[in-house]
Structure formats: C-alpha cells, structure tokens
Structure 1
Amino acid sequence: MKPGFPSTSGETRGILLLGGSGQVGTALCRLKWPAGFTVHAPSHNSLSITDEDAIDRVFREGKWACVINCAAYTEVEAAESGEPAVSRVNTTGPGLLAAAAARGGTPFIHLSTDYVFDGTATEPYRSFDPVHPLNAYGASKAAGENLVRQANPRHVILRTSWVVSPFRKNFVKTVLNLAQRLDHLEVVDDQTSRLTSATDLAATLQIIALRLIEDPQCPVGTYHFANEGPATWHAVAVATMQGAARRNARSVPVEPISTRSRPSSALRPPYSVLCTASLSRDFGIAPRPWQSALEEVLDSLLPKAPNDTSPHSNDPRLGSLT
C-alpha cells in the first residue's frame, strides 16, 4: 500500500484497490507495475466501500487511472443468517464504486465468484450463461454484478473460483494445518470447480487494468479466470498432501466423503467449472494448470526437500486425482 493520492498532473497514474488485505489484494500489491503506476490500497477503516461520502471524497481528492474492487464478504455460512454486511459489501458497495468511477471516466474492475451459478451444468460455465445462485452469498454477488453493469459502461467483471495462496486463510493452508494434528482428513469429493492461484489472478487483473487504461477500445463485460483443469476439493487435498510429503512435511491420508455427510446452512453448486475461453480470446491470457499453481503455493508455505529437484508441475500423479 502506498500512502497519499495520485497526482492530477498525469505524472503518476494511480490504481485504486479495494480489498487490498485479502489474498488477491495482497498479491496485487506485491506485483511489479510499470513505471508511472502506483497502487493505492486504503484499509477498510480508511475507506469503506459502503460509505458513499467517503467514496466521493476519494474521487474528488485524486485522479484514478483504474479502480479494482477485490473487497467482499466471503463467509458463506454466515451469509445465510441474513447478516446485513453481506448485501452492503457485496451488492451496494460495488455499485457505489462503479458509479463513482463512471463519473470520473474511470474504468472499473470487479471480482466476482462461481457461486453465482447453481451447478446444474454438465460443461464449463461461459460468462454469458444465466446465473442462478443457490445461497445468499452467491445472490449478493450476482446482484452486485448487475449494479456494476448498470453503473459503469467501462467495466470488467471477472469471476473466479477456489482461490488459494500463501496469504490469509484458504483451503490449502487449512489442509496443511489440519494434517499437523489429525491422522487422516475427510474431504468432499462431489463438488467440482477450478482452483485459482491468487498470484495468477492478480497478474490477470493487472493485464486487464493496463489494457483498460491504455486502450479506449479495450473489450469490456464479464469474464472468467481460474487455473486450467477441473478438480474436486478431495483432489486438491490429496495433491496438497502429496506435495507436503515431497517436501518432508507431515502428510496424512485423505478420505473422500459426500457433501451430504457434512450438513451446511448454505448450499454449494456441485459443479462450477468456469470456461476461460473468452478471456483468452480478448486478452490473450492462457491459465496454467492448477497443479502447477498449487505447487508454487506449497513452495512458499513449505521448505523444499534437500534431494527434491524434480519439476513438480510435471508429476504425473497430479493430473489424475479425480
């Protein structure tokens, strides 16, 4: 996070980032940006995306080249209880930001989720497929998407799924932590999606932002990004334990279970694999396999075994876990 606001002289072009303390926001702040660009990531206490006056003030005090919104309420279970913050952060806030950006002629990028879909598809969801969320979290994100579309014609909504990284709380870190105190793990094997590296997602957001800034004819609309290849949570957990074992870290067996065996107040889509073809077509972005992305996360979280010089991303075991 860089202090201050961008100059209106044009010497520095500021990227306003909301949600800078999350997985993707942290990765965005760590990226190297081209000369002349500065990322400003105010904390929630400094700028709440639900505070219209504060948002207007930020746009009056600084000239922004692009706004990227990664802020979200992501507690899926808690969202079912009718927590007011869900709609404020996931629906109202993005609309306010998109509208403020539009008034300043600023392109707006909004991060969304695969949970806008109901999981009844039998092939990867395209960005223009109808949405039908199963839970309150997904419904709030779908409503936020609609407000963004209405508020700012120069927008990109980027849906993603199953984000993991060395930062903050996520599935991979949970698996590694649980393996330290349990003799086996039980992980659902009937939910299928695509794993996403926060670092890869941040790099994609950067590419989109720079295109929007430099090219007035840049494509806009809704796109999907996730690492290549479908997986179940069980498959990801097994791959995580295999990676831990290669690094001489504790590894335990992972048993598959059904979603029904773990009662939940929030329904999850059984299939939410995202199609990234339109992103590749319009922005030239080709996601790498999720196995390779996972290995990079594990390299950051676990020490590499002294005798391990193999290219983990080519490990044949990792492609056939489902």
Structure 2
Amino acid sequence: MKVLLFGPDGQVGRALQAALPVLGGEVVAAGRSRADFTRPGALAQVVAAERPDVIVNAAAHTAVDKAESEPDLAERINALAPAEIAAAAAAHRATLIHYSTDYVFDGAGSTAHSETDATAPLSVYGRTKREGEVAVAASGAPHLIFRTSWVHAPGGNNFIAKMLSLASERDELRVIDDQVGAPTSAALIADISVRVMAAAMEGRPLASGIYHLVSSGETTWNGYARFVIENAMQRGVAVKATPDRVLPVPTSAFPTPARRPLNSRLSTAKLRAALGVDLPDWRIGVLETLEAVIAGRTA
C-alpha cells in the first residue's frame, strides 16, 4: 500500500508519520514546499505523480479566529483544496481519508451530535470545513471523513502546555466552563486511521462516509485545565495556580472573533460499530501528552 500524506507537519500529520510505517508500505509525505494548499489546482499534480492507493489529508487552516479576517484563504485551504484532492483521488481510484471538525455544528443542545445531524457552523472555519466535507462526499472517490475535536499533541502551543505555563506564572486562572467536549489526542486519530487502512488491506473496508472520532467521556475547558494542573503537580511540576484556583467563567468572558460551539459532544457509535473498537477515555490521551510536555520542559 502506498500512502500519500498531506499536512505532515501538523499535530495529526506528525502522529500519522509515526504510525503509518506499521502498515509496511510506502509513505510519501508532501509538505508545504511541494503541496501548496493556497494553490489548490496544483495538488492534483502531486497525486498524479505519486499514484497512491490512499491519500490522507491532514492539512487545514485551523487558526479559527484568524480565519474570520481571511475567509478567502480559509476557503482555499479547507474547501477548494480538499475538493481538488478528492477529484484527483477519484480519477486515480485512490481512497481519501480527510479530517474535519465539531465546528461544523452550532453547538446547540446537550446531547452528542450524530453524523446525520444537521450542520450549522458559526464561524468561517466551521463553514469552510463543512464545504470541504461536502466536496469530498460529492467527488465519487472512496472516502472517510473523520470529524474530531479538541485535538492535542506534544509540541507547539497546545492547550496542555499553555495551562502549565500560565499556572506557573499566575496565582489564579480563569478558564471557560460552558463549552463541553472531549479532548482527543492526535495519536488516537492516527491510530484509528491506521486501523482503518489495515482493515481495508484485509478486505474489510469501512463504507464511505462521515465518522465521528473523539475520545470517550466529556469535560469542559475548565475541567480539562484542572485535570492537567492536578496531574502535573503529582509529577513534580511546581505551579502557583493550583486546581482550586482555576476559576470557571462563561464563554462571554473571553470575546473572540469566531464563535465557538458550546456543545462539542460527538457520538462515536457509528465508528465503534463499524470498526469494532472501543475508544479510550479522554484522560488517558491527555496524560500521555502531559507526560511528553513535562519531559520536554525538563530536557
């Protein structure tokens, strides 16, 4: 199996590069220097040159607030580029794995969204990601669209590292407590993606469509922050803002250019039934990332 990976340098892309070799085939990572998502029309040339069996698109414009002021760029990267890749996948009979987001929903209600629920994005980011989904589904290519949420991984300015940094500098933190979701590790997303490809190699491909891929359980950003700080303290990290000093505040306390969904719960029943797997509790992945972040701070 030959896999062409777009977006190899992001959180999910790095995790995929670590996970894909287990399949035993060839992995071609096409980064920005070769695959410019601001020029979607050029992406078909990369697919034609490589002729992969599977295309994995982990590239996206994920700067949610910045997208509000640069909608054309977000459109090219999140909607037009996936459309071009999907058309090329169809032409070369390749399977496309594409990643999307809980931001395609408006976050109303308090139950977990299913794949068939109506979408109503609140932001440019959410709208363009939904447009990308629609284009992939309409392309005729065999495809799997994995919607995920609250992605974290070691490296970069992730939420876990940010909370540790702030807690070491301040006596008190104010963290949003009315947005609910499931922190999901890039490693889990990569692992499930690889399992799906392995199943296809064994003659058990998943049906084309949208699948929700998030950790089990739920929390708020405040609960997430408190969990991170508490476990960091148990691992010897010195902080000023202890968990009891992480104060709950509403989303309105931190106005942002892009509106966030309050309810980011995603039902994973479809994926679990199709693949025959259980998805781990969000705390497991967070602890793995936390330990890597702490190790990086002390290295």
Query: Could you tell me which residue of structure 2 aligns to residue 101 of structure 1?
Result: 89
Query: Could you tell me which residue of structure 2 aligns to residue 280 of structure 1?
Result: 272
| 212-221 vs 94-103, greater mean Cα deviation | 212-221
Cα shift at 1:38: 2.2
- Does residue 286 of structure 2 align to residue 294 of structure 1? yes
- Does residue 164 of structure 2 align to residue 176 of structure 1? yes
Question: Distance in 1 between the 2:66 and 2:23 partners?
Answer: 42
Query: Could you tell me which residue of structure 2 aligns to residue 3 of structure 1?
Result: none
Q: TM-score, normalised by structure 1?
A: 0.86
Code of the aligned partner of 1:131: T
Code of the aligned partner of 2:197: A
RMSD, aligned CA: 1.7
Change over 3 Å in CA distance of 1:52–1:80 after alignment to 2: closer
Query: Could you tell me which residue of structure 2 aligns to residue 236 of structure 1?
Result: 224
8 Å CA contact 1:19, 1:25 repeated in 2: yes
Query: Could you tell me which residue of structure 2 aligns to residue 165 of structure 1?
Result: 153
Instruction: Could you tell me which runs of 5 or more consecutive residues in structure 1 were left unpaired when the two chains were aligned.
Output: 1-12, 305-322
Query: Could you tell me which residue of structure 1 aligns to residue 253 of structure 2?
Result: 261
Code of the aligned partner of 2:294: L
8 Å CA contact 1:87, 1:140 repeated in 2: yes
- Does residue 187 of structure 2 align to residue 187 of structure 1? no
| 288-297 vs 230-239, greater mean Cα deviation | 288-297
Query: What SS does structure 2 have at the residue aligned with 1:226?
Result: coil
Cα shift at 1:74: 0.8
Query: What SS does structure 2 have at the residue aligned with 1:222?
Result: strand
Change over 3 Å in CA distance of 1:205–1:35 after alignment to 2: closer
Q: Find the partner of 1:49 among 26, 37, 48.
A: 37
8 Å CA contact 2:180, 2:262 repeated in 1: yes
Which structure is higher in RCO with an 8 Å CA cutoff and minimum separation 6?
A: 2
| 245-254 vs 41-50, greater mean Cα deviation | 41-50
Code of the aligned partner of 2:236: N
Query: What SS does structure 1 have at the residue aligned with 2:30?
Result: coil
8 Å CA contact 1:108, 1:152 repeated in 2: no
Cα shift at 1:49: 3.3
Change over 3 Å in CA distance of 1:281–1:154 after alignment to 2: same
Instruction: Could you tell me which runs of 5 or more consecutive residues in structure 2 were left unpaired when the two chains were aligned.
Output: none
Change over 3 Å in CA distance of 1:265–1:49 after alignment to 2: closer
1:290-315 CA-partner distances (Å, limit 9, x unpaired): 111111111112259xxxxxxxxxxx
The count of residues paired between Structure 1 and Structure 2 equals 292
Query: What SS does structure 2 have at the residue aligned with 1:180?
Result: helix
Query: Could you tell me which residue of structure 2 aligns to residue 31 of structure 1?
Result: 19
Cα shift at 1:184: 1.8
Q: TM-score, normalised by structure 2?
A: 0.93
- Structure having the larger proportion of residues in helix: 2
